[in-house]
Amino acid sequence: MREVVKEENPFIPEPMRIVRRYNLIDDVKLFQVRAVDMERALTLRYLPGQFMMISIAGVGEAPFSISSTPSRPGLLEFCIREVGSVTQALFKLKENAQIGIRGPYGNGFPIEKMVGHDLIIVMGGLGVAPLRSLLYYALDNRNQFGKVYLLYGAKRPAEMLFREEFLALRERDDLECLLTVDQDDTRDWPCHTGLVTSLFQYVKGIDPHKTYAAICGPPVMYKFVIGQFLKFNIPKHQILMNLERRMRCGVGKCGHCVIEYIYTCLDGPVFSYWDVIHMKELI
């Protein structure tokens, strides 16, 4: 078959291979993938907060946030929950299976503007997927940022994604890693118990105008977390969030992700709270 050059058709997925996959929790797996073409694998550029369309030929495609950081090129990581047809098919695939991927798409985090600021990253549930990329980007470029806070809430210890990885991060002294669970049913959870908002009491000594906040989590989380940031006087345009919409193309053609005249796939998925106030239907 004729090899189609990607540039001429943005809808043709690139062949990639699953290098490794493992369970994070019951219904969420981490997939490490690499472009079959080694040169492409090493030169693929993206920003934290961008997403890619993963294709299983014969089943379909769906958007997934990139969970790895561009500061560690070669492998792409996706943290995926099994919910429907594409994700079920993906969960059946083993190491070395070939899948199709196109992208990266979306605006990603405005890294250039965020440099030089303190960072407060707040995530809940699967909200880890895009924010883990931002977190490791900041840690890999540690001297470009001020204080870095990570606030992560899960329902129970067993539902915390990357639990061991994050528990280990608490050892670092250049990062304030605050983890919480709503309920500790194990009785030996070493960190905080309570809602993610209850972690804000430990965020101290930040200069609100020199701070960027990033949030991603279940819809109910946004309102309360944004309320906390506003209490801190962090400017609205420095409160950033990843939003989810149904997407079919990722490149501004299919119309599915439209909110008023904003295309979530092009102008998002990262929006500021200021955008949200403008666009009534963003959250």
The residue (of 63 and 70) whose beta carbon lies closer to ligand FAD is: 63
Nearer to ligand FES, 157 or 250 (CB): 250
142 neighbors 170 (Cβ within 8 angstroms): no
Nearer to ligand FES by C-beta: 170 or 256?
256
Tell me which residues touch other proteins (CB under 8 A): 1-4, 8-13, 15, 57-61, 81, 83-84, 100, 219, 244-246, 248-249, 251-256, 258-261, 280-281
User: Contact, 252 vs 263, CB < 8 A?
Assistant: yes
Terminal-to-terminal C-alpha distance of the chain: 45
Point out which span in 80-88, 135-143, 230-238, 255-263 binds ligand FES (CB under 6 A).
255-263
236 vs 248, which CB is nearer to ligand FES? 248
DSSP H or E stretch at residue 76: strand 76-81
Contact positions toward ligand FAD, by CB under 6 A? 51, 60, 62-65, 78-81, 83-87, 126, 129, 244-245, 247, 269
Residue 62 CA, chain-centre distance (Å), reads: 15
The answer to whether 152 touches 123, Cβ cutoff 8 Å, is: yes
Least distance in angstroms from the C-beta of 254 to ligand FES: 3
Strand partners, 63: 53
Whole-number Å distance between alpha carbons of 62 and 270: 18
Nearest approach, Cβ of 252 to other proteins (angstroms)?
6
According to the binding rule CB under 6 A, does residue 54 interact with ligand FES? no
Name the nearest CA neighbour of 229 among 274, 269, 190, 187: 274
Largest CA distance in the chain: 61
Closest approach, Cβ 246 to other proteins, in A, equals 5
Residue 51 interaction partner, one of ligand FAD, other proteins, ligand FES, none, beta carbon < 5-8 Å per kind: ligand FAD
Q: Which amino acid appears at position 232 of this protein? A: F
Residue whose Cβ sits closest to ligand FAD:
84
Count of Cβ atoms closer than 10 Å to residue 3 Cβ: 6
Give CA–CA dist 239/257, Å, rounded: 22
Identify what 277 binds: ligand FES, other proteins, ligand FAD, none; CB under 5 to 8 Å per kind.
Answer: none
- Pick the closer one to ligand FES by CB: 103 or 125: 103
> Which of 50, 211 has the CB closer to ligand FAD?
50
Does residue 83 contact residue 53 with C-beta atoms inside 8 Å?
no
Footprint of ligand FES (CB under 6 A): 247-250, 252-257, 263-265
